[in-house]
Amino acid sequence: EEEEEARLPNGGCLPCPPGPAGAVPAGTALEEPLRSCRLRGEAARSPSPPRSPAGDARSRAAALRTRRDRAEPPAPPRGFTDVSLNSRNTFEVSRRRSAPEQLPLGAAAPAAPAPQEPAERARHWAGIAGAGSSFAEFFTRNFFTKKTKELKPAVQSAPGWKLFGKVPPRENLPKDSKIIQQEYEARTGRMYKPPPPSARRKNIEFEPLSTTALILEDRPANLPAKSVEEALRHRQEYDEMVAEAKKREIKEAHKRKKIMRERFKQEENIASAMVIWVNEILPNWEGMRATRRVRELWWQGLPPSVRGKVWSLAVGNELNITPELYEIFLSRAKERWKSFSETSSENDTEDAGASVADREASLELIKLDISRTFPSLYIFQKGGPYHDLLHSVLGAYTCYRPDVGYVQGMSFIAAVLILNLEEADAFIAFANLLNKPCQLAFFRVDHSMMLKYFAAFEVFFEENLPKLFLHFKSYSLTPDIYLIDWIFTLYSKSLPLDLACRVWDVFCRDGEEFLFRTGLGILRLYEDILLQMDFIHIAQFLTKLPEDITSEKLFSCIAAIQMQNSNKKWAQVFASLMKDNKEGDKNHSPAPKN
């Protein structure tokens, strides 16, 4: 440090002009404050004791005499010692180049001074000191002023579009609920004291997980409090709601238990019946199928494991269809679909003279009907496991019976058979089932035969349900409005699938008579509801029956239907209608020409 100070003129202090005789030595007023500041800074940085002022003055005087002897021009002052006091009362000393604080506008910075003699330098600084206040005040004003950080006021950006980065200041900040409550209490002068938890909802055995218990809650502080009468009334209403909820829960629990008991009982019956069917009935089918015991087991429903086998045996194979024959017609159907997709325009021209049934056998109609077959199961739609299988069975049948072709509704019958039989067996049962007189009349759209079946149905309808029969007559509601859909799909579209399968069980046992008996059983089950409906609502209701229908209720109503009219059974009534129709045709036939 001493070497550095020796290189600086006057030890780093500004020269002071000589004063009058007897005055304070020149430079003393400037050296003392700088020396004290510098010594304090050195004391803070180093633990060594400060040097005496006399020693410092002698070293600086010696350095000045050495420069004067060498006749070197004095260097300009390199800088002032700038002392500032920060917020923690510690001095920060830095050196920077000296420059006048204020310059006139447009004036250039002063150039470095030329070398001057010591006398001229003394007169220069004396003129500066006499121009204004004392030099000590000028020096202390510029170098010992405490620089403090001035906090700049926060400048809010002007409200503008958020797209350009300007967000308007939030004037109303959201208030907490506690602050709102405190403001309300300060404004009204009322203090809200919530009742202790132990004082509310005492002796409540049943607490429903709903909003019904809110009736017991106290009102907020900003609303009038409940009166004693109102609180008692709310308590009574709440107890009534709880009692009703208890009753409803108990009733539903009993209902669930009853359903579970019936299901377990049904499963036990099915398991025991399966053993009988497998070990006793199926090995001796021809000898036991007509016995009373087998017919009673048949009425109760076939076990799912033997249902397909029993259906195949009951329907029979009068057409003598073999699995090999099915493969032949399936290959024909695939060739037809391929040619149809390649040359659709040519096929349209060829089909122009074909029958209506043959036109309905087109690929587009089959595809459309398959997508609407049991849509809730998602197994027959495109991408499902049985989509291609159902498509193959229906396509093979259209090639096997081009006179019948494909008619809407066949997909439901084929789908039920596929769910219970293998592919070839399902096709054999499907072809033989549609060859029955009733199904053949409906699928070939034989109007005369269909009218005879409707007339026979109305005979037993009037016999069993006379009141509902007259109600239907008053609205001119004929059986074809609801029976066609039932017969075309064999109730597989209108009833739940498990219930439809049980209807199929007895249909395979009793034949076409049971189809019309089932229709009368449905009308008997919903007789009270249908008597309150008009034409439109009856037709809509019978097209889509309720899904909550149970097999026990339906079969109890079916069992109550008596298929006898004047001691005539179904077959006898239908045969008499056929005979009357033939005689009428003879009477209306033209006379032969001579």
Which DSSP string do the residues of 40-85 spell out, in sequence order? HHHHHH--SPPPPHHHHHHHHHHHHHHHHHTTPPPPPP--EEEEEE
Residue 152 pLDDT: 46
Residue 411 pLDDT: 93
CATH number at residue 405: 1.10.8.270
Token pair, residue 588, equals 């209306």
Tell whether 430 and 453 lie within a shared domain: no
The sign of the dihedral angle between the CA atoms of 109, 112, 116, 118 is: positive
Mean pLDDT confidence for 393-405: 91
Residue 471 pLDDT: 95
* Per-residue pLDDT reduced to its tens digit, 184-223: 677 776 665 555 544 444 444 444 445 666 677 777 888 8
Band (pLDDT 50/70/90 cuts) for residue 230 is confident
Tell whether 291 and 315 lie within a shared domain: no
Residue 249 is assigned to a structural domain of this protein:
yes
Count the domains in the chain. 3
Tell whether 467 and 574 lie within a shared domain: yes
Residue 540 is assigned to a structural domain of this protein:
yes
Tell whether 461 and 574 lie within a shared domain: yes
Whether 90 has a pLDDT exceeding 70, the answer reads: no
Residue 373 is assigned to a structural domain of this protein:
yes
Whether 88 has a pLDDT exceeding 50, the answer reads: no
pTM above 0.85, yes or no: no
* Per-residue pLDDT reduced to its tens digit, 445-482: 999 999 999 999 999 999 999 999 999 999 999 999 99
Tell whether 477 and 512 lie within a shared domain: yes
Band (pLDDT 50/70/90 cuts) for residue 12 is low
Spatial contact of 333 and 395, defined as CB atoms under 8 Å apart: yes
CATH number at residue 451: 1.10.472.80
The least confident of 79-93, 427-441, 468-482 is 79-93
Tell whether 458 and 528 lie within a shared domain: yes
* Per-residue pLDDT reduced to its tens digit, 554-564: 999 999 999 98
Q: What is the mean pLDDT of the chain?
A: 74
Rounded CA gap, 64 and 62, in Å?
Answer: 5
Boundary residue ending a domain (413, 435, 457) = 435
Q: Between residues 232 and 518, which one has the greater pLDDT? A: 518
- C-alpha 523 chain-centroid distance: 42
* Per-residue pLDDT reduced to its tens digit, 101-133: 444 444 444 444 444 554 555 455 545 444 444
Residue 529 pLDDT: 94
Tell whether 401 and 475 lie within a shared domain: no
Three-state secondary structure string covering 115-141: CCCHHHHHHHHHHHHHHCCCHHHHHHH
Mean pLDDT confidence for 302-321: 94
Tell whether 289 and 269 lie within a shared domain: yes
Whether 352 has a pLDDT exceeding 50, the answer reads: no
Q: Which domain holds residue 574?
A: 443-582
